[in-house]
Amino acid sequence: MTRRVLLFDIDGTLIRCGGAGGKSLLAAMADEFALEEVSPVPIHGRTDLGIVNQLLGDHGIECTEANRHRLYNRYYSLLPARLAQLAEAAEAHILPGVQSLLGHLSTSSNFVVGLLTGNMPTSARIKLDHFELWDHFQFGVFGNQADHRPRLAEPAMAAIASHCGEPVHAKDVIIIGDTPLDVELAKVMGSRSLALCTGGFSAGDLQQSGADLVLEDLSDNHRVLSWLAL
Ligand SMILES: [Mg+2]
């Protein structure tokens, strides 16, 4: 079969963090910029760069590289403990079928397995290391590369070509995610999308967004693998 490049989203697709990311980011905002109250912003499916720019802007803080770094660094320092706490309370966990699917994929030379996430590289690693999933991924495209998820299309195709050592046709790339923004990104790329209902969006929402396949979760590995190989 033709080699397929699979790009997995993280939150709501591979794992649920029980809000550890969002809560840590808001706490980091409050701590780093001495704010008494921080108003939340939408986070589902968005890139960290877009989220952080909006958070800073909404609170009257200049959107400079230096301020973003202050916020990211504080966020990275808070995230591991909060994630551990929520995992202990079983609110953060790996989603159904993920471990076995990644196990199957790692034994097949037909699939190149990467990440395409709104997380920054450091937070992606903190989250996946916590669940011992990081080593399954050969490369990644992260949320520091665009402020709007569909704009990750170009960096994604470049990262794929660089990783594979040659350009790969977009139709041989599959985006696996949990939000309409993941599906929109796949459309911009000209790639197929597998959308999962594990992140809070309903099957109806995801179908309406134009996903090529919508599943409750990844637990039917056989069905998922057959579809990925189409
Ligand atoms: Mg997600």
Per-position b or e across 127-161, b if 16+ CB within 10 A of its CB: bbebbebeebbebbbbbbbbbebbbbbeebbebbe
Q: How confident is the model at residue 2 (pLDDT cuts 50, 70, 90)?
A: confident
Q: How confident is the model at residue 11 (pLDDT cuts 50, 70, 90)?
A: very high
Alpha-carbon distance of 19 to 85, in angstroms, equals 11
Q: What is the value of pTM for the model shown?
A: 0.97
- Angle, CA of 70, 71 and 72, to the nearest 5°: 95
**In the predicted model, what is the mean pLDDT of residues 213-218?**
98
Distance 186 CA to ligand 1 centre (A): 14
User: Please, what CATH class does the domain formed by 20-88 belong to?
Assistant: mainly alpha
Q: What is the pLDDT of residues 22-55, one digit of tens each?
A: 999 999 999 999 999 999 999 999 999 999 999 9
- Residues that place a CB less than 5 A from ion ligand 1: 9, 11-12, 178
For residue 221, the number of C-alpha atoms closer than 13 Å in the C-beta half-sphere is 11
Distance 184 CA to ligand 1 centre (A): 13
Residue 185 · residue 7 · CB < 8 Å: no
Q: What is the pLDDT of residues 101-122, one digit of tens each?
A: 999 999 999 999 999 999 999 9
Structure tokens at 62: 């200049």
Per-position b or e across 103-124, b if 16+ CB within 10 A of its CB: eebeeeeebbbbbbbbbbbbbb
Q: Where in the chain is the domain with CATH 1.10.150?
A: 20-88
Distance 200 CA to ligand 1 centre (A): 9
Distance 182 CA to ligand 1 centre (A): 8
Distance 214 CA to ligand 1 centre (A): 14
Q: Where in the chain is the domain with CATH 3.40.50.1000?
A: 4-17+93-228
Domain 4-17+93-228 CATH (choose: 3.40.50.1000, 3.40.50.2300, 3.40.640.10, 3.30.200.20): 3.40.50.1000
